[in-house]
Amino acid sequence: MKTSRFRTAVVAAVVAGLALVLLVVASAGDAYALLGNADPGPLTTYGFAVVRFLADAAGACCFGGLVFAAFVAPGRRDGAVSADAFAASRFAAGSAACWLVAALVAVPFSAAVASGLPVSRILRPEVFLPTLNATEEPKAWLCAAVAAAVATVLAWTAMGWRTVVGAAAVAGIGLLSLVPVGHVAVGAGHDLATNAMFWHVPAASAWLGALVALLARLRRGPGDLVLRRYGRLSLTCFVVTAVSGVAAGLVLARPDGLVSRYGLVLAVETALLLAAGTGVAAWRRRRSKGQFVVAELVLLALGLGGSTGLTVLVPPAFVNHPATVQETVLGYGLDAPQTLGRLIGDWRPDLLFAPIAVGAVTAYLLGVRRLRRRGDHWPPGRAVAWLGGWTIVVVVTSSGVGVYAPGTFSLHMVTHMALNMLAPVLLVLGGPVTLALRALPAGSHGAVPGAREWLVSLLHAPVTRFFAHPAVVAVLFAGSFYALYFSGLFGEAMLYHWAHQLMKAHFLVTGYLFAWVAVGVDRTPRQVPHLARLGMVFAVMPFHAFFGVILMSKQTVLAYTYYHYLDLPWVGDLLTDQRLGGGIAWAGGEIPMVVVVVALLVQWARDDERRARRADRNGEADFDAYNAMLAELADRRIKENT
């Protein structure tokens, strides 16, 4: 594809997306009146829509370009970026710079829309600073701007594969920072919609940005490996984008709102994504590569325009189904008291952790099947441990336990202990990294690095070595309890769904790191002796006991404002429930620690036994060699005498 054609395609896609955005905004009417907000004026309304579209497009190109550079473009065995990856990372750096400018411009525009004032008035310092402090969306745009600035530097200076991956991670965080301040994070069902958008935004961005990077790559000629990898990436992104987008759209529109203006734009956006994901597959077989990617790019740009237009419209669920206080805080109601039957039978899927669990279990079982097909053995106990660990995660996040956990501190502590101490022990005993290294194909010398080489590189990265250090693991594992619950962070985190999800992810990750270093089947970047591991476990145990004792003796209620907002009629004395949670933390922390100690001692004994057998084999070999030497000397003497 020639350079002029590439530029024409990109410009056409941007113009098409902007045209759809402006069309949706023009047909929105007085959307502010439905929410009881003041109209900031057409300049602010249209200007923010255009700026938001450009920011979203630039952010997608940054993130997708980095994904393309890291996982689509052929790499090098020495870890340095290849020519294709270097070009894609430079494209991502330029996109990140544009994203930075657009995000900074979006800060006053978002503040103006939130306050109902014209942007010209918001730019006054005496108005801007108080508005920025009182509204959430401008702060999110500032976070996106910071992420864009960091991604710009990392992508521009990236000469190694790990740096590109790090830049992609930073860009992804910047994209996700805007999810909790959108329409999906407000009203009834916002827990489902927010979790769905946590998948939708990065998947759609990776698809669009990688497609633009592919267009630029095709200017230098086709590449079969690049096209195959992009095909797998686009298919994955298409499935994730479509499923998550439909889930979030149904929550915001509800069935009775699908015939509204919002429902119409949602249907158009969904149709565009389906056309990009399914219709283009046929075009690939019939037309040239340049033609199908241009058509796909225009469709995705139109889809992005529809998505931006939806941010201007008021979701029908807001108007037709006003949220209660509990639905505003949690996303659902908890009027019925918690009973054993409800804890077991009332399921509400956590659309963040449940898909991760399903994907992790599926990938694990596929790896086991690959080993068995080639005749290799994999211990069934490890598979059972892996399945058990993810089962616990799903139960405490999606069953009645997860549904009612935000309502009482005691049940919250049950989920905390399960995610932080019980599930991680089972997960690390499953040995997922060892399985992946054995199941993934190893490239021959000089071959293009693939998934196995990527995994090995990340395992030996400096950041992995840092977080796998026993001292760092111990501080994160034990110190998180005190930093979270005794600093006021817990009360703030429970008020926001995204913060609550981040807290649960922190529990699981820090617990996994601790269990990995202590009793993990997979080797860590730092080889820690068994005695040092045992010392680390014993050093951490008292901190958990002290934490539980402090909770049981505390005279003030943690997160009182949050529980006061909920005002659940079936909850008794909050302080009594908190003391029960302290007892759960004490008992629930000691029992898994005992399991860890037992597992560590068993591993230590087995390791010593293996070393002893190895030493015996070496000793027998030395003894046989010694006897052979003596026999050879005896033969020489006999020959000399004869």
> Does residue 494 register a pLDDT over 80?
yes
Question: What are the helix (H) ranges across 520-573?
Answer: 530-553, 560-566
pLDDT score of 641: 59
Give the chain's mean pLDDT.
Answer: 85
Total Cβ atoms within 10 A of residue 110 = 29
pLDDT score of 623: 46
CA distances from 136 to 139, 140, 299, 566 (A): 5, 6, 32, 22
Question: What tokens does 325 get?
Answer: 């206080």
Average pLDDT over residues 42-60: 92
pLDDT score of 281: 60
pLDDT score of 256: 77
Average pLDDT over residues 260-270: 86
pLDDT score of 134: 82
Average pLDDT over residues 399-413: 92
Contact 214, 68 (CB under 8 A): yes
Q: What is the 3-state secondary structure (H, E, C) of 159-187?
A: CEHHHHHHHHHHHHHHHHCCHHHCHHHCC
> Does residue 131 register a pLDDT over 70?
yes
Of the chain, the percentage scoring pLDDT greater than 70 comes to: 90
pLDDT score of 91: 93
User: Identity (one letter) of the amino acid at 368?
Assistant: V
pLDDT band at 75 (very low <50, low <70, confident <90, very high): confident
> Does residue 330 register a pLDDT over 60?
yes
pLDDT band at 323 (very low <50, low <70, confident <90, very high): confident
pLDDT score of 566: 86
Highest average pLDDT, of 5-14, 191-200, 314-323, comes from 191-200
Q: Which residue has the higher pLDDT, 634 or 101?
A: 101
Q: Which SS3 state, helix, strand or coil, does residue 474 take? A: helix
Cα 345 from Cα 354, distance rounded (Å): 17
Average pLDDT over residues 116-138: 85
Question: What tokens does 169 get?
Answer: 């991670």
Cα 154 from Cα 78, distance rounded (Å): 19
pLDDT score of 510: 93
pLDDT band at 382 (very low <50, low <70, confident <90, very high): very high
